[in-house]
């Protein structure tokens, strides 16, 4: 997208993965990219991991669930 959009246009898009992904797919025009929708958009739910400023300041709590549904609590709030 950096080759087809100005810096101002890119800034307007922001950092939200769903919007960026839709824009990218539209720019590329490849319908096969839709098979990656979940893989690309799902990390948007974890914005705190992508931008950890708040977690570093206030702490973070995580829950890990393995394939056998055992829950392990890690960290603290």
**Is 1 part of any domain?**
no
Query: Are 13 and 36 spatial neighbours (Cβ–Cβ below 8 Å)?
Result: no
Q: Indicate yes or no: pTM above 0.85.
A: no
Higher model confidence: residue 17 or residue 51? 17
Domains identified in the chain, total number: 1
Higher model confidence: residue 59 or residue 73? Answer: 59
Burial 5-21 (b: 16+ CB within 10 A, else e): eeeeeeeeeeeebeebb
Say if 2 falls within a structural domain.
no
Average pLDDT, the chain: 79
∠ Cα 43 21 45 (to 5°): 20
Which structural domain range is residue 59 located in?
7-76
pLDDT confidence of 60, banded at 50, 70, 90? confident
For residue 69, is pLDDT > 70?
Answer: no
């Amino acid at each position: 997208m950096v080759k087809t959009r100005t810096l101002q246009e890119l800034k307007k898009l922001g950092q939200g993965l769903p919007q960026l992904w839709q824009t990218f797919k539209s720019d590329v025009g490849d319908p096969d990219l839709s098979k990656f929708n979940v893989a690309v958009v799902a990390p948007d739910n974890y914005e705190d991991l992508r931008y950890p400023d708040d977690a570093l300041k206030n702490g973070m709590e995580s829950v890990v669930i393995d394939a056998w549904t055992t829950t392990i609590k890690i960290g603290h709030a």
